[in-house]
Amino acid sequence: MSTPAKGAWTPALLTALVAAGTILSLSMGLRQSLGLFMEPLARAGAVSAAAFGFAMALQNLAWGIGQPFMGAICDRFGGRLVVAVAAILYGAGLASMASGGALGLYLGGGLLIGLAVAATSHGVLVGIVSRLASPSVRASAVSILAAVGSLGTFAVAPATQGMIERWSWQGALAGLALLALLMTGMALLFRRAAPGAADSTLRPDARGAIVTALRSRPFVIATLAFFACGFQLIFIATHLPNFIALCGLPPSVGATALALIGLCNALGTLLAGYLCQRWGNEPVLALIYLLRTLAIALFFTLPVSVESTLIFAAAMGFLWLSVVPPVSGMINGLFGPANFGTLFGVMFLSHQVGAFLGAWLGGLAYQMSGSYTAGWLALIAVGMAAAALQFWGVRPRAERLPSP
């Protein structure tokens, strides 16, 4: 990675990294642990697997639709108030899920948490850090943020499973709601970029930025391929615990698998950031889609055991959020950081349409057939299509802008 210029790691940037990393860890850790509640909710007769899958699909759709708006607001006014309010919505959504029934699940686990995640995830937090970082350290700062943010799942997933077993699924959701409120305090640490800071003088122009981006071939190709990322990851996050339970493995294996995804994700994200500096953003993004799909195909075709599940989780974790450095590097390199939140939100909407279909169709396929076979085959087909599309869209090296 590029060597920071003297004074580039300013106190404001370091403070923002700590705050954003903590918020991202909590937000992603909480959201990716929700799949652990499918089995106890279904066992208690509260909701069906299809209803739970639809709620998670609704959450991802709300996240995707809300992301461009949250990003544009933060580009224009800064992220402190938006993130603080979103943290309160997050807690309210988890508490609503604890009330039981389909309405609480759809409203809380679907709509409220979806909107909350839109303001407490990469689209907003990477934008905050990017605007505070000089070009010499921006890629490094984004990679660090994405890596630290992935560690939340490593801690939250086992803690969630422990609360479910020791208390109840309602008590576990109440505990997670209190944890979500911690993000409010961290949001107060954010500051706007000072005059003269990196690219702080560029005025955000959401409409103009979107028009320009939609005329960019690399941006459009990456946006289309991003559909597969959401389709694959949210299917796995939502349905993997139930799938391995159907294979006769204990619930603790599902929690351990989700935790392992979070731990390995930190290493994979840092490596992806390094490779982007050497190879460029688009080749790394294409390689991630290919390797992720190959891992899914192997897990589906081989017998499911504790060992194969944990190896699969480690491989998927290594490739989970490793897309963040190449995607953010592409946006910053092509358009600069002034409208990052808006443009990431537009691209992320494609991701979340895929996530909606992955969560919903996975639950629906299981409900109709009693098997996840159709879901796994769909993951492989969509992933290979995305890898081919992204490889086709790789520009000659001479045409690429260096990652800032």
CB 333 within 8 A of CB 402: yes
Burial bucket for residue 397 (CB in 10 Å: 0-12, 13-18, 19+) = exposed
Task: Print burial letters for 83-94: b (CB count within 10 Å at least 16), e (below 16).
Answer: bbebbebbbbbb
| CB neighbourhood size of 134 (10 A) | 18
pLDDT of 397 reads: 55
Q: Which helix (H) or strand (E) holds 20?
A: helix 11-32
Polymer length of the chain:
404
pLDDT of 155 reads: 82
Domain membership flag for residue 404: no
Distance (Å) of CA 269 to CA 120, 319, 366, 401: 18, 7, 32, 21
CB 79 within 8 A of CB 125: yes
Q: 């990675």: which residue's tokens?
A: 1
Domain membership flag for residue 1: no
Model confidence pLDDT, tens digit, residues 15-73: 999 999 999 999 988 988 898 898 888 887 778 877 888 888 888 889 989 999 998 88
pLDDT of 1 reads: 38
Tell me, yes or no, if the pTM score tops 0.85: no
DSSP, collapsed to helix, strand or coil, labels residue 385 as helix
CB 72 within 8 A of CB 179: no
CA 54 to chain centre: 18
pLDDT of 203 reads: 66
pLDDT of 396 reads: 60
Give the residue numbers spanning the domain of 40: 11-193+205-396
Burial bucket for residue 235 (CB in 10 Å: 0-12, 13-18, 19+) = buried
Contacts of 92 (CB under 8 A, 6+ apart): 108, 112, 177
> pLDDT in tens for each of the 404 residues of the chain?
344 444 478 888 999 999 999 999 999 889 888 988 988 888 877 788 778 888 888 888 899 899 999 988 888 887 888 999 999 999 999 999 988 788 899 999 999 999 999 999 988 999 899 888 888 888 888 889 988 887 787 788 889 989 998 999 999 999 999 999 999 989 988 876 544 444 444 567 788 889 999 999 999 999 999 999 999 988 988 888 888 888 988 878 877 887 788 788 888 988 998 898 888 899 999 999 999 999 999 999 999 999 999 999 999 989 988 898 899 989 988 888 888 888 999 998 899 889 888 888 888 888 888 889 999 999 999 999 999 999 987 766 545 444 43
Domain membership flag for residue 403: no
Q: The domain that contains 94 carries what CATH number?
A: 1.20.1250.20
CA 3, CA 247: separation in Å to the nearest integer?
48
pLDDT of 403 reads: 41
DSSP output for 142-169 = HHHHHHHHTHHHHHHHHHHHHHHHHS-H
CA 123 to chain centre: 9
Domain membership flag for residue 3: no
Model confidence pLDDT, tens digit, residues 371-398: 899 999 999 999 999 999 999 877 665 4
- 292 Rama sector, left if φ>0, alpha if ψ -120 to 50, beta otherwise: alpha
Residue from 342, 352, 317 nearest 29 by CA? 317
Burial bucket for residue 165 (CB in 10 Å: 0-12, 13-18, 19+) = middle
DSSP output for 333-353 = HHH-STTHHHHHHHHHHHHHH
Number of domains in the chain: 1
- 163 Rama sector, left if φ>0, alpha if ψ -120 to 50, beta otherwise: alpha
CA 132, CA 183: separation in Å to the nearest integer?
20
Domain membership flag for residue 199: no
Tally of CA atoms within 13 A in the half-sphere of 332 that contains its CB: 33
Domain membership flag for residue 272: yes
pLDDT of 195 reads: 42
